[in-house]
Amino acid sequence: MPIQDLLTRHGLRPDKKLGQHFLSDQQLLERELAYAELRPGDIVLEIGPGIGNLTALLARQAGRVVAIERDPQFAACLGILQQQHSQLEVLWGDALEVDFPPFDKAVANLPYQVALPLIFKLLERRFERAVLMVQRDLARRLVARVGESGYGRLSVAVGRRAEVELLEEVPRQAFYPPPEVESALVRIARTRPKFSVPDEEFFRVVLEAFFRNRQETLAQAAQAIRCRELPQPLLARTMSRLGEKLRRKPVCRVTPAEFGELAWALWKGRSG
């Protein structure tokens, strides 16, 4: 049944404030599943199932599907699917607040305004892979390499714990109603951290502070930082102890591993 007809049948109205844009391209939905390489025993997590067009496909291929939805207007649609697929469980609530159950794979068309915190929340769990629809600009930032225009704190922070691949870009016309931005499918494979950091929150602060001046050298960017967690005396001491080659590197060309070294130097420097 076409999405417009399904919405009319159940008296549903997409809420743009919640980022409700439903993927209407059936072939793209099927490719999304193919990218996930589902097995009959897989436990799949879906965030924001909405009317359940992706959910129905997942339930036919996976051993168990757990879908997290916050909007009660979709209760009837998802209830019908639960009657048809006993392996489908629906958790009601905000995905940023609901505890994720154990899962093997995540497949979801994420609400764009909360896609990034949801990705970081996913990365706190062990899983094999995630296939996610996100805003195209976010996808490009996630996969950007050192020196590329989109390279920044997200590339470093996510890339430290996962391999991210941009699978395909998706036009607005593939959704109903069409969003105001272009979209993309990404595949995230969870890995062991590629390097250690002293503290996740402290590492985030370091990345945000230095990438505010991404074209400046590391030393110049340090001089411009005004941050309670990174006082100037600490930054000056740390910079003096770094090698000259690293101090003169533009921030946008500092590798993820070098940011890890910088975070450790700043962390240890706090004690003297």
What are the pLDDT digits (tens) for 178-202? 888 999 999 999 999 999 999 999 9
pLDDT at 16: 65
Considering the domain 200-269, what is its CATH architecture?
A: Orthogonal Bundle (1.10)
* Helix 53-61 × helix 75-84 angle, to 10°: 20
pLDDT at 259: 97
Structure-token pair, residue 110: 């994420």
How many helices and strands in the chain, by DSSP H and E? 12, 9
Query: What is the distance between the alpha carbons of residues 138 and 132, in angstroms, rounded to a whole number?
Result: 11
pLDDT at 2: 65
What are the pLDDT digits (tens) for 60-100? 999 999 999 999 999 999 999 999 999 999 999 999 999 99
This prediction's pTM: 0.89
Dihedral in degrees, nearest 10, Cα atoms 252, 253, 258, 264: -30
pLDDT at 41: 95
pLDDT at 24: 87
User: Hey, where are the domains in the chain?
Assistant: 3-190, 200-269
- Tell me if 3-190 shares its fold with 200-269: no
Dihedral in degrees, nearest 10, Cα atoms 83, 89, 92, 97: -170
Radius of gyration of the chain measured on its C-alpha atoms: 21
Query: What is the distance between the alpha carbons of residues 194 and 79, in angstroms, rounded to a whole number?
Result: 42
Using 70 as the pLDDT threshold, list the residues of the chain that sit under it: 1-2, 4-12, 14-19, 272
The CATH label, of 1.10.3210.10, 3.40.50.150, 1.10.3720.10, 3.20.20.210, for the domain at 3-190 is 3.40.50.150
pLDDT at 243: 93
pLDDT at 180: 87
Contacts 24+ apart (CB under 8 A), 1-7: 3/51, 3/53, 3/176, 4/176, 6/51, 6/77, 7/51
